[in-house]
Chains A and B, each alone.
Chain A
Amino acid sequence: MTLRFDVLIVGAGPAGLAAAQAAASHGARVGLLDAQARLGGQVWRHDVRHPAPGAARDAINALKQVTFLGQHQVIAAEPQRLLVETPQGAEHLSYATLILATGARELLLPFPGWTLPGVTGAGGLQALVKQAWPIAGKRVVVAGTGPLLLAAAATLRKHGAHLLGIVEQAPQSAVHAFARQLLHWPARAVQAVGLRARLAGVPYRFGSIVRHAYGEQQLGAIEIEDAHGKQRLDCDHLALGYGLLPNTELAQLLGCALDYGTPEQASAHPHVIVDRLLRTSVADVYAAGEACGIGGLAAARIEGAIAGHAAAGAEAAASALLPRRAKERRFASLLAKHFALDPRLHQLATPQTIICRCEDVTLSALDGFTDARAAKLATRCGMGACQGRICGSALAELGRFPRSGSRPPLFPARLSSLVQATPSLSDEISRSST
């Protein structure tokens, strides 16, 4: 079966929602798909116990004349159409224009003990808890970097977690310099003050990193290091967030040009290159939000609207939003500057630390390899179910080698789904599996 859309949007987070609303306002037939079951993406993920923020409710309620396709996972791309897998089967979605609003994921860095149950991403644990993961009364440490740690911690506390502390790797001077900059961004300053109030009484440590997680079958304790030395702390959960990186796999598969970092801020992780109207290098394909480089919620919403208008042919409406985009992007570079990662974090993994969690490949097994493909063929690193999304990004961050290109299927898929691919695509899939 093939559904046809004028504008098809991949990702139903803030950027995708804004894009859908903007495109539909011009009468376009709009499809909005997401691998998750509900609208909202990660930052506006549905919370089973607490109401959504007003902005999220408004964005979702504003959707009119948009076909939402939940639990739709893109597994392959052909000219002007995508092959998607659903719990029921597979189908083709064809489009005149495509908007990639694929968002970001957390950067997860390997260190001794990181494979223990109980060690999660910070946004990861927040997401799990919003969907009823039992956290009440559990001892939780939130660690990593940036204001997202506070947002995650606030959600965890609201659900009854016993927060032992927030462990920020950036030095106090950097965090205070960032806080002073917030004076130029009043809405964000109010948000920050609100978050701190909700976290009253929770220790907030700076210049501190988690070096080690301990436990037999699951997490039991961690080791924290700061300027004064090392300290062991018993806990049930460690929620770690070292920042975000763009999800660019689909863009790459489509052939969109990618770049690394900006002139001001280097990055080991690629983002999609777009022009002022958010057109990628591939005709009829747009990108918006975190996929174009980490810019945060406000930038994602504006870029979604720009891409939605532009994809529906309403260039004037898109152009009118460009000054707001530039302003929000400036805030993102501020974040990147003040919360740059401490080089010690790149040295935490020991030779015995597992890097590739799918295939249990240790760091020492990867010594001597200078590209991802050679390492994969020799050690199976990156060959498992996550397709190198975790280990490949970690190895790029650690300066070992960049991730290899993306090939179909984009996610592990059922054989019955793959047989629906066209002959040329089937050939490519069978080639990439060898």
Chain B
Amino acid sequence: MSVLYVNGQRVEVPAGASVAAAIAQVTADFRRSVSGESRAPLCGMGICFECRVSIDGVAHRRSCMTPAEDGMQVQTDSGRLDRHAP
């Protein structure tokens, strides 16, 4: 079991889970495209980059390729947008 944070929300996932699986518990909106569309994992294998998020302050990490670890701070584009909303 790992405990991590997605847009500040505490999430538990089983050992060996991907960060993508943790995010999916919180939101289907992983990133915003250049024209503002919501996007989420497509290929599931590190090819398409639709699942990219910020992990511990490092942008553009592929969440489907990254094993979830205790204490990770994950930020999606939507999480960032919501925080700055009026």
**Shortest CB–CB separation between residue B74 and chain A, in angstroms?**
14
Count class of interface residues, chain B: 35 or more
Question: What total count of A-B pairs have CB within 8 Å?
Answer: 119
Could you say which of A46, A128, A357, A390 has the most chain B C-beta atoms within 10 Å of its C-beta?
Answer: A128
Query: Is there contact, CB below 8 Å, between B49 and A218?
Result: no
Q: Is A412 an interface residue (CB 8 A)?
A: yes
Q: A106-B43, A124-B44, A217-B38 are in contact. Are A117 and B18 (CB under 8 A)?
A: no
Q: Is A235 an interface residue (CB 8 A)?
A: no
In the bound complex, what is the Cα–Cα distance between A38 and B17 (angstroms)? 12
Q: Is B25 an interface residue (CB 8 A)?
A: yes
Q: Is B40 an interface residue (CB 8 A)?
A: yes
Q: Is A119 an interface residue (CB 8 A)?
A: yes
Which residues of B sit under 8 angstroms from A71, Cβ to Cβ?
65
* Option from B44, B46, B50 in Cβ contact (under 8 Å) with A123: B44
Q: A217-B38, A357-B42 are in contact. Are A117 and B28 (CB under 8 A)?
A: yes
Which residues of B sit under 8 angstroms from A49, Cβ to Cβ?
14
In the bound complex, what is the Cα–Cα distance between A386 and B28 (angstroms)? 20
Query: Is there contact, CB below 8 Å, between A390 and B47?
Result: yes
Task: Choose, from A131-139, A142-150, A199-207, the stretch at the interface.
Answer: A131-139
In the bound complex, what is the Cα–Cα distance between A217 and B36 (angstroms)? 11
Q: Is A248 an interface residue (CB 8 A)?
A: no
With CB as the reference atom, state the residue of chain A lying closest to B13.
A132
Query: Is there contact, CB below 8 Å, between A42 and B45?
Result: yes
Query: Is there contact, CB below 8 Å, between A127 and B45?
Result: yes
Q: A134-B25, A218-B28 are in contact. Are A105 and B16 (CB under 8 A)?
A: no
Query: Is there contact, CB below 8 Å, between A127 and B40?
Result: no
Query: Is there contact, CB below 8 Å, between A117 and B39?
Result: yes
**Shortest CB–CB separation between residue A37 and chain B, in angstroms?**
5
Which residues of B sit under 8 angstroms from A106, Cβ to Cβ?
43, 45
Query: Is there contact, CB below 8 Å, between B47 and A120?
Result: no
Interface residues of B in 3-46 (CB under 8 A from A): 13-18, 20-21, 24-25, 28-30, 33-35, 37-46
**Shortest CB–CB separation between residue A380 and chain B, in angstroms?**
9
Query: Is there contact, CB below 8 Å, between B45 and A108?
Result: no
Query: Is there contact, CB below 8 Å, between B20 and A128?
Result: yes
Which residues of B sit under 8 angstroms from A128, Cβ to Cβ?
18, 20-21, 24, 41, 44, 64
* Option from A116, A127, A218, A359 in Cβ contact (under 8 Å) with B34: A359
Q: Is A36 an interface residue (CB 8 A)?
A: yes
Which residues of B sit under 8 angstroms from A320, Cβ to Cβ?
none
Count A interface residues, CB 8 Å.
42
In the bound complex, what is the Cα–Cα distance between A42 and B65 (angstroms)? 12
Query: Is there contact, CB below 8 Å, between B49 and A115?
Result: no
**Shortest CB–CB separation between residue A43 and chain B, in angstroms?**
11
In the bound complex, what is the Cα–Cα distance between A48 and B45 (angstroms)? 16
Q: A36-B65, A37-B67 are in contact. Are A132 and B42 (CB under 8 A)?
A: no
Query: Is there contact, CB below 8 Å, between B34 and A124?
Result: no
Q: A131-B17, A132-B14, A133-B24 are in contact. Are A124 and B43 (CB under 8 A)?
A: yes
With CB as the reference atom, state the residue of chain A lying closest to B27.
A117
In the bound complex, what is the Cα–Cα distance between A390 and B33 (angstroms)? 15
Which residues of A sit under 8 angstroms from B44, Cβ to Cβ?
120-121, 123-128
In the bound complex, what is the Cα–Cα distance between A120 and B15 (angstroms)? 24
Query: Is there contact, CB below 8 Å, between B50 and A357?
Result: yes
Q: Is A338 an interface residue (CB 8 A)?
A: no
What would be 12 A-B contacts, judged by CB atoms less than 8 Å apart?
A: A35-B46, A49-B14, A71-B65, A115-B33, A117-B40, A118-B28, A126-B44, A131-B21, A132-B21, A134-B21, A217-B38, A360-B33
Name B's A-contacting residues (CB within 8 A): 13-18, 20-21, 24-25, 28-30, 33-35, 37-50, 52, 60, 64-65, 67
Name A's B-contacting residues (CB within 8 A): 35-38, 42, 46, 48-49, 71, 105-106, 108, 115-121, 123-128, 131-134, 217-218, 354, 357-360, 384-386, 389-390, 412
